[in-house]
Structure 1
C-alpha cells in the first residue's frame, strides 16, 4: 500500500496528514474551516485516496495560514506516498458537472509544478471560506505534489457549484494519474527515467 504521513509544525499551524493512495476514499478532515473540510472530503471520496487531515491553525488571525498549510501538508504526504512514481499512469483528465457548472481539470505528475487557473468567483466567501484562497490552495497543493495542473471552469454561476466541481474534477483526474499502470507497473513513466525535473 502506498501510504505516507506528514507532520508539519510552524508558529502558525500544527498539521498531521496521512494518505493512502490505494484506498477507498475514506476520510477524516478537520481544518477548522467547514467549507474547506467539505472540499477536501470531496477530494478524498472521488479520488479514492484515503485522507486523514487535522489542522490546528491561527484562525483568530485569518484563514490564510490554515488553508495554505493544509494544502502543503496534504501535497507533501501524496508526494511521499508516490515515492519515485514508479508505475503510475502520470496523466489524468476529468470533467465534473454540477448542475449549471462544468469544470475541466488536467494533471501531469511531472515533477514540474505549474498551475494554470481559469476560474472565477463572484462572492468573497463560500460558507466561511475566503474565495481568494481557493486558487492559492491548488497552487500550494500542486506545487508540493510536483504536478502540472490545469483548472478551467467552462461555465457556471453558483459559486458553491463552481468550487465543488473544481475539487471533484481534480479528484477524478488525480485518481487516474496516481493509478498503477498494469502494463508498466515497474517503470517510471518518463523517457528520462525520472520524474523530478524535465521529464
Structure 2
C-alpha cells in the first residue's frame, strides 16, 4: 500500500494527515473551515485517494495558517506515499464541468513544483472561507508534493461551482497520475531515472 502520514506542529497549527493512494476515496476531514473541508472531501472522493485530515489552527487570527499548513501537510503526505514514483503514470489531466462552469486541470508529478493559475472569483468568501486563499492552497500543495500544476477556468459564473469544478478536476487528474501503469514495469517514468531536480 502506498501511504503517507504527516504530523506537523507549529505555534500556528497542529495537523495530522494520512493518505492512501490505493484507496477508494474514503475521507474524514476536519479543518475548522467548512468550505475547505468540503473541497478536501471532494478531492478524496474523486481521486479515490483516502484522506484523513485533522487540523487545529489559529482561526481566531484568520484562516491563512490553517489553509496553508493543511495544504503543505497534504502535499508532504502525497509525496511520502509516492516514494520514488516508480511505475506511476506521472501525468494527469481533466476537464471538469459543473453546471455552467468548466475547468481544466493538468499536472505532472515531476518533482519540480510549479503552479500556473488562470482562475478567479467574484466574491470574497465561499461560506466563511476567503476565496483569495484558494489559489494559495493549490500553490502550497504543488510546492510540498513536487507537482507541476496548471489550473484554468475556461468559463463559469457561480463561485461555488468554479471552486468545486477546480477541486474535482484536480482530483481526477491526480487519480490518473498516481495510478500504476503496468506497461512501465515498475520503472521511474523519466529518461533521467529519477523525478525531481
SS of structure 1 residue aligned to 2:183:
coil
Deviation at 1:185, TM superposition (A): 3.6
SS of structure 2 residue aligned to 1:71:
helix
1:86 matched to which residue of 2? 86
1:31 matched to which residue of 2? 31
Structure 2: how far apart are the matches of 1:34 and 1:174?
A: 23
1:127 matched to which residue of 2? 127
SS of structure 1 residue aligned to 2:42:
helix
Deviation at 1:196, TM superposition (A): 1.5
Structure 1: how far apart are the matches of 2:185 and 2:31?
A: 35
SS of structure 2 residue aligned to 1:162:
helix
Matches within 5 A, 1:5-154: 5-154=5-154
Q: Deviations over 1:96-134 (max 9, x none)?
A: 100000000000000100100000100000000000000
Show structure 2 runs of 5+ residues with no match: none
Show structure 1 runs of 5+ residues with no match: none
- 8 Å CA contact 1:117–1:150 kept in 2: the answer is yes
Structure 2: how far apart are the matches of 1:112 and 1:196?
A: 5
Matches within 5 A, 1:180-195: 180-195=180-195
Deviation at 1:32, TM superposition (A): 0.1
Deviation at 1:92, TM superposition (A): 0.1
Count of aligned positions = 197
Structure 2: how far apart are the matches of 1:195 and 1:30?
A: 32
- 8 Å CA contact 1:88–1:185 kept in 2: the answer is no
SS of structure 2 residue aligned to 1:94:
strand
Structure 2: how far apart are the matches of 1:58 and 1:76?
A: 21
Report the TM-score when normalising by structure 2: 0.99
Q: Deviations over 1:29-84 (max 9, x none)?
A: 00000000000000000000000000000000000000000000000000000000
Runs of 4+ residues deviating >2 angstroms = none
Deviation at 1:4, TM superposition (A): 1.3
SS of structure 1 residue aligned to 2:152:
strand
